[in-house]
């Protein structure tokens, strides 16, 4: 879809190489995207600074890719809306219909998809 570099927020970033959030961070960087990892306790992942919460992010955001379940994402509608991303991707296991509804109502496109598959198939 969009071949130009995007600014991508990874909500639920991980420093564990076996986690999909970590694999996505590496793949996004390999595809030339600017990545903003978000995790409440990690300070850095593979030498990249991590922000502890969405409200610390300034500037435009193209995509938020979600790697947190509904128990965590349920309370994030206001923060995500304030961030004004073009779209939010709900990766497998991160689906949250109620949050998707709120984001759509705020004019933010949502997608249930796997970031890794989107990248691998040039549909990101």
CATH topology of domain 7-120: Rossmann fold (3.40.50)
Task: Give me the pLDDT at residue 1, please.
Answer: 47
For residues 100 and 74, the answer to whether their CB atoms sit within 8 Å is: no
In angstroms, the first-to-last Cα distance of the chain is 6
Phi, psi of 15 (to 5 degrees): -95, 5
pTM score of the predicted model: 0.95
Phi, psi of 102 (to 5 degrees): -65, -40
For residues 5 and 34, the answer to whether their CB atoms sit within 8 Å is: yes
Task: Give me the pLDDT at residue 20, please.
Answer: 97
- The series of mean pLDDT values per 10 residues for the chain, 124 residues long, is 82 97 97 97 96 96 97 95 97 97 97 97 94
Task: Give me the pLDDT at residue 81, please.
Answer: 97
Q: How many residues does the chain have?
A: 124
Q: Where are the domains of the chain?
A: 7-120
Q: Which sign, positive or negative, has the C-alpha torsion 102, 34, 38, 58?
A: negative
Task: Give me the pLDDT at residue 120, please.
Answer: 96
């Amino acid at each position: 879809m969009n071949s130009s570099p995007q600014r991508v927020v990874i909500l639920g970033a991980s420093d564990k190489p076996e986690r999909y959030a970590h694999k996505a961070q590496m793949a996004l960087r390999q595809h030339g995207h600017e990545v903003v990892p978000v995790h409440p306790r990690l300070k850095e992942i593979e030498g990249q600074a991590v922000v502890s919460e969405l409200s610390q992010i300034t500037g435009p955001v193209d995509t938020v890719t979600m790697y947190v379940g509904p128990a965590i994402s349920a309370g994030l509608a206001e923060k995500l809306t304030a961030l004004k991303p073009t779209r939010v991707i709900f990766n497998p296991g991160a689906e949250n219909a109620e949050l998707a509804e709120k984001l759509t109502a705020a004019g933010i496109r949502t997608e249930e998809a796997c970031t890794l598959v989107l990248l691998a198939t040039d549909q990101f």
